[in-house]
DNA sequence: TTGTACGCGTTATCAA
DNA sequence: TTGATAACGCGTACAA
């Protein structure tokens, strides 16, 4: 492989001139520029970015830590991150942690050892977990919760959940089941708070047996719904903490001979692409995945550049979308 | 940031000893090893991988080129790639091309400039397109077709499609519509060949008007199905070239008041997670996403190591899965 | 077993 | 505008 010296020799100039021709062409005479370009073409030179990065002590890469890339909401955010990062000259290192803390650590180590300049987390992160990340490490949480420490982007999960449950109550539902994510998951906590607030505002007592704990997978939605089907006094609506669990739940309900939404309403959260196409279309909360990803990159790049963020916690608007999976409670 | 020299000074040994202590501990006396470890802890040393990679002229990163990471089939493969790559000490650079050739080129350049050691393509690639990739570049196509040049992994798309259409014919269907991907897409070509083979074997003439061209998105499935609904003589079954288009098509059919599968059968391809949970569950072809990803990494790593593959074209088995979206043709 | 010294490809500094 | 040369942090002959 040819290096910058080969080009310099071929062009009859110094290596410094070649280097300048590439990174600051305006500082080189037209004649020299021309010679350099010809020489580059002739010897088939490609700058060694490894050396360039080494020299500049920057890798121009960012790690994206994601619990599960197969989750369509996350992959939507990642897509936006990749797009923006590419624009800004950064590569995206994919860190699919599968929820394993040791893998997370491996990736954090990658930025400590300079293989990446910063880190975007796509996992809700409460302040307690934050200790793992060294304070001087450039890092942004793109799926924050109310308790997230450090720079973060999030929606108002509590408010959105309240809006959703308020809506169900306005449809006449009083007995509203919840399919939650893991109960110690910060998103679950925020959304549960919204659920409780809504009930309280309507004067409906909170009942523990109406809460089923899932883990944000379709499979868990399937099982949790089964739990409700077995109850003597079934809920007339189910508030699911994400779309995948809602889709799984609907599957179970149908299998049990229940009609959605005529017999029971179901709501989701995230507005993944399937929410619009499943049967019935899901009433859900739309998260601005594209904006989240874009903003995360912008914030991180500033952090990498040594800036301090004037607005370290960004709360983006979410959208309440009514589709076909919800209906008036049957007057019983 | 402390470097290897700081550690050496602190430990009272030479930099060479520190270097050895990290990469070849067996060549260092226990005493020296101990001193080095203490010094590392004391000064908070982290080896600079940028420098290490530069020295070794390896980036220990691979680029994964994917047309659309939000497609669940692709994200499944990527997940497996990431897992295997991590095991083998490689990082995954995400290259979401969104079908734009210039972005693809940017990523190919990344490996030419040493920022990555090799390339995995998740796009069907016919031999014509192969020219773009320099022949000396380590590259594996993980979504190959019959026409793919160079190392590749694929399933027998033609055979799988034939199996599926054979099945529909065995159910009594004679008028079978196709929702294809873009017609110049190599996967579309292979799967269409299987469709035609099956018809021919059954003595059913091929009819051009039974083919609708989509682009592998749900949205296109939606529209293509509409096309069939408007026909005077509707097909009794639709063979979709992926699950997403099948899900979109089913949505349209239901909206038109048709029952699936009682009035019309629909089949998919890929077996994405939703195929099992949509209504009705999809009869489809399961691609071994995990094995594909794993094998792709293994092959690429060998290629990077300078080996020549004894088996450059791997054809993995696919699985035919019957669910609820297909039924006997109504005796008309 | 340990240490010295050089080279990897690039950019930045400085002098011409 | 150009060129010579010193870094950058690490690995590794080679010598001790």
The mean per-residue pLDDT over the stretch A250-269 comes to 96
Report chain A residues whose CB lies below 8 A from the CB of B47. 113
Rounded Cα distance, B255 and A293, in Å: 34
Residue A4: CB less than 7 A from any atom in strand D: no
A49:B113 CB<8 A: yes
End-to-end CA distance of chain B: 79
Do residues A293 and A148 both lie within one domain?
Answer: yes
What residue has token string 């992926």? Answer: B242
Does the N-terminal peptide bond of residue B245 adopt cis geometry, omega within 30 degrees of 0?
Answer: no
Q: Are residues A239 and A255 in the same domain?
A: yes
Judged against a pLDDT cut of 90, whether residue B125 lies above it is answered with no
pLDDT, mean of residues A80-87: 96
Instruction: Report residues 23-82 of B contacting strand D, contact meaning Cβ closer than 7 Å.
Output: 23, 47-48, 51-52, 54-56
Q: Where is the domain boundary, B54, B72, B92? A: B54
pLDDT at A282 over 90: yes
- The beta-carbon neighbor of B82 closest among A54, A96, A114 is A96
Residue A127 lies in a domain: yes
CATH number at residue A25: 1.10.260.40
Query: Are residues B167 and B280 both part of a single domain?
Result: yes
**For residue range A35-52, what is the model confidence (pLDDT) as tens digits?**
999 999 999 999 999 999
> What's the confidence (pLDDT) of residue B169?
98
Measured CA A276 to C1' D6 distance, in angstroms: 62
Asked whether residue B329 is assigned to any structural domain, the reply reads no
Q: How far is the CA of B91 from the C1' of C2 (A)?
A: 35
Q: Which of B277, B289, B293 to mutate to test the interface with A (most CBs of A within 10 A)?
A: B277
Average pLDDT taken over every residue of chain B: 94
Q: In the prediction, which pLDDT does A69 show?
A: 93
d(CA A156, nearest CA chain B) in Å: 24
Asked whether strand D has any atom less than 7 Å from the CB of B330, the reply is no
Nucleotides of C under 7 A from a protein CB: 1-5, 7-13
Tell me the nt nearest to A35, Cα to C1': D2
Is the domain of B139 the same as that of B165?
no
Same domain for A136 and A82: yes
* Predicted pLDDT of residue A25: 92
pLDDT grade for A99, boundaries at 50, 70 and 90: confident
* Whether B32 and B125 share a structural domain: no
A236 and A116 in one domain? no
Q: How far is the CA of A275 from the C1' of D2 (A)?
A: 63
pLDDT of residue A134: 84
A19 and A137 in a single domain? The answer is no
User: Which range, of A83-97, A102-116, B118-132, averages the lowest pLDDT?
Assistant: B118-132
In a domain, A330, yes or no: no
CB contact under 8 A, B46 and A278: no
CATH number of the domain bearing residue B119: 3.40.50.2300
Assigned domain for A325 exists: no
Domain with B176 in it = 157-287
Domain shared by A43 and A72, yes or no: no
Residue B320 lies in a domain: no
Lowest mean pLDDT among B94-108, B171-185, B264-278: B94-108
Q: Which residue of A has its CA nearest to B248?
A: A277
For residues A110-137, give the mean pLDDT. 84
Q: How many beta carbons lie within 10 A of that of residue B196, not counting itself? A: 17
* pTM confidence score: 0.94
Q: Report the pLDDT value the prediction gives residue B332, as an integer from 0 to 100.
A: 54
Q: Is residue A324 part of a domain?
A: no
Contact call for B49 and A114, based on CB within 8 A: yes
**Exposed, middle or buried, A183 (CB in 10 Å: 0-12/13-18/19+)?**
exposed
Q: How many domains does chain B have?
A: 3
- CB-nearest to B92 from A76, A94, A113 is A94
Q: Which residue has the tokens 């549960």?
A: A192
> Does B29 score more than 60 pLDDT?
yes
Query: Across the strands, what pairs with A314?
Result: A153
- On the question of pLDDT at A332 being above 90, the answer is no
Please tell me the predicted confidence (pLDDT) of residue B147: 87
A130 pLDDT above the threshold of 60: no
**Closest nucleotide relative to residue A23's CA, C1' based:** C11
Instruction: Identify whether residues B283 and B296 lie together within a single domain.
Output: no
Angle, helices A157-170 vs A186-202, to 10°: value is 40
Whether residues B241 and B138 share a domain: the answer is no
Q: Residue B192 above 90 pLDDT?
A: yes
3-state secondary structure of A273: helix
Residue A57 CB lies within 7 Å of the nucleic strand D: yes
- Residues A196, A280 share a domain: yes
Closest CB from B49, B109, B254 relative to A115: B49
Answer whether residue B148 shows pLDDT above 70.
yes
Output the distance from A299 CA to D6 C1' rounded to whole Å: 36
How many residues would you count in chain A?
332
- Residue B323 falls within a domain, yes or no? no
Kindly state whether residue B191 falls inside one of the protein's structural domains: yes
């Amino acid at each position: 492989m040819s290096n910058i010296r080969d080009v310099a020799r071929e062009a009859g100039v110094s290596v410094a001139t070649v280097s300048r021709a590439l990174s600051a062409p305006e500082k080189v005479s037209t004649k020299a520029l021309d010679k350099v370009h010809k020489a580059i073409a002739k010897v088939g030179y490609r700058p060694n970015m490894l050396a360039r990065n080494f020299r500049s002590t920057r890798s121009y890469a960012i790690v994206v830590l994601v619990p599960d890339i197969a989750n369509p909401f996350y992959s939507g955010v990642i897509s936006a991150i990749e797009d923006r990062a590419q624009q800004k000259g950064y590569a995206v290192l994919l860190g699919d942690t599968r929820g394993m803390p040791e893998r997370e650590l491996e990736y954090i180590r990658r930025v400590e050892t300079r293989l990446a300049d910063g880190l975007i987390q796509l996992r809700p992160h409460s302040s307690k977990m934050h200790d793992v990340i060294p304070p001087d490490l450039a890092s942004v949480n793109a799926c924050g919760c109310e308790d997230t420490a450090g720079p973060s982007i999030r929606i108002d999960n509590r408010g959105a959940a309240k809006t959703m449950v308020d809506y169900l109550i306005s449809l006449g539902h009083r007995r509203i089941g919840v399919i939650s994510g893991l109960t110690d998951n910060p998103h679950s906590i925020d959304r549960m708070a919204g659920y409780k607030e809504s009930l309280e505002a309507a004067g409906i007592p909170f009942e523990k047996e109406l809460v089923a704990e899932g883990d944000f997978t379709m499979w868990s939605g399937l099982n949790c719904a089964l739990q409700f089907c077995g109850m003597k006094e079934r809920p007339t609506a189910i508030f699911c903490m994400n779309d995948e669990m809602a889709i799984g739940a609907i599957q179970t309900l149908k299998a049990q001979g229940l009609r959605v939404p005529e017999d029971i309403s179901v709501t989701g959260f995230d507005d993944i692409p399937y929410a619009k196409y499943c049967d019935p279309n899901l009433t859900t909360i739309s998260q601005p995945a594209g904006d989240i990803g874009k903003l995360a990159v912008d914030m991180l790049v500033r952090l990498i550049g040594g800036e301090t963020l004037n607005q370290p916690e960004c709360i983006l608007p979410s959208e309440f979308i009514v589709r076909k999976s919800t209906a008036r409670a049957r007057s019983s």
